[in-house]
Amino acid sequence: MKQVTNTSWNTFWWIIGSICMPLSIPFIVHKVMSQLRLRKNKDILEGKVVLITGASSGLGEALSHTFYMAGCKVVLAARRKEELERVRTDLLEMHSRIVTHPPVVIPMDVSDLSTLPEKIAQIEETFGHIDILINNAGISVRADVVSMAVDLDVQVMLVNYFGAVAVTKAVLPKMITRKEGRIVCVSSIQGKFSLPHRSAYSASKHALQAFCDSLRAEVAEHNISVLCVSPGYINTALSLNALTASGRAYGVTDENTATGASPERIADDIRRAILSEEKDVTLAPLLPIAVQWLRLLCPSIYFWVMEKRARRMNASN
C-alpha cells in the first residue's frame, strides 16, 4: 500500500513538473534579460524630457518625484494648476541637490481634446521634443450598468481612453521624425478582467491596452517603444474621487484601495519597467493575477465568481 502511495505521489509530481518546467523556463529567461537591460540602461533617463499627465496627485505626483530624482526634465500636466504648482515646489524643495531643468507646469485637461495639440506644441517649443510620455490621467467610477447614464460612460472613456489617445497622437509626429521616443500608458489590472460596478472604468482601461498593442506594432520600426502598465489597487484618492451613477464623487476610500500598494512603489516599478524595455507589465498582488489567469483559462468559473460578487454587492446597497 505504501509503495502504491509513493508511486502515486511520484506520478503527481512528475505531472506537475512536466507542466511547470516549460512555463517556468521562458519566465526565468525573461526575468534575466530584463535585469540585464535594467543594468545596461540605468543612466539613460538623465536629461530626458518626460511629460506626465495627471501629475497633480496620487500616482502622477509620485511619478513626478521618481523621474525628477532620475535627472529628467519633468513636465507636470493636469487640470488643477494650483496643485501642479504645489508639486513643483515640493520637487524643488525636497530634491534641491538634483541638478536638472526646473519642473515645468502645463495646465491640461485631457478630456478637452481640441486643446491638446496646442499644449504639446507648447512643450515642444520649450524643450524641442518630448522623450517620454506617461499617460497617467484618469478617473474611476462606482456604479452598476443599469443606474449609470450613458453620459457618464462617455465621460470616463473620454478621460481614460480618448484623452490618452489624443495626447499620444500629438507627440508621435516629432518622435517619428527623431526616430526615438517612449510611450507609457497607465492602465489597470481591471482592464484585463472586469468587476461588477466597474463597467465603464474597466472598458476604458481595456480599450487603452488594445490601443497600446496596435500602436506598439506600428511604431516599432521608428524606434519608439510602447509600455502598458496594469497596476492593482494603489493607495491614492482614486476611489475617493470616483464618480457614482449620479455623477457625484464616491467620497469613500474603500478597503482595497486603503490597503493597496504605495504610489511611490508603483512609480519606481514603472521606472524600472522603462529601463528594462518591458512592453506590458502587471503590478499587482497574487490574487488579482490569479483572477486574470482564471478569466483566461477557466472563464466559466470566473463568470460564476463575479455573479456571486455582484449579488452580494446588490444586496448590500
Buried b (16+ CB within 10 A) or exposed e, 258-291: eebbebbebbbbbbbbbbbebebbbbbeeebbeb
Residue 215 CA from chain centroid, whole number: 16
The grid coordinates listed for 39 are 543594468
Nearest-angstrom CA–CA distance, 40 and 304: 46
CB-based contact 78:55 (threshold 8 Å): yes
**Helix (H), strand (E) at residue 114:** none
Give CA angle at 98 (276, 65), nearest 5°.
55
User: Is 161 a residue of the active site?
Assistant: no
Distances (CA, A) of 28 to 20, 63, 151: 12, 28, 46
- The dihedral through the CA atoms of 306, 312, 313, 315 has a sign that is positive
Closest alpha carbon to 186 in 221, 153, 119, 234? 234
Which position among 201, 233, 250, 302 bears the catalytic label?
Answer: 201
Residue 240 CA from chain centroid, whole number: 18
The grid coordinates listed for 248 are 457625484
Q: What is the DSSP letter of 105?
A: E
CB-based contact 234:263 (threshold 8 Å): yes
Burial classification of residue 216, based on how many CB atoms lie within 10 Å of its CB (0-12 exposed, 13-18 middle, 19 or more buried): middle
The SS3 assignment for 148 reads coil
Q: Which residues form the catalytic set?
A: 201
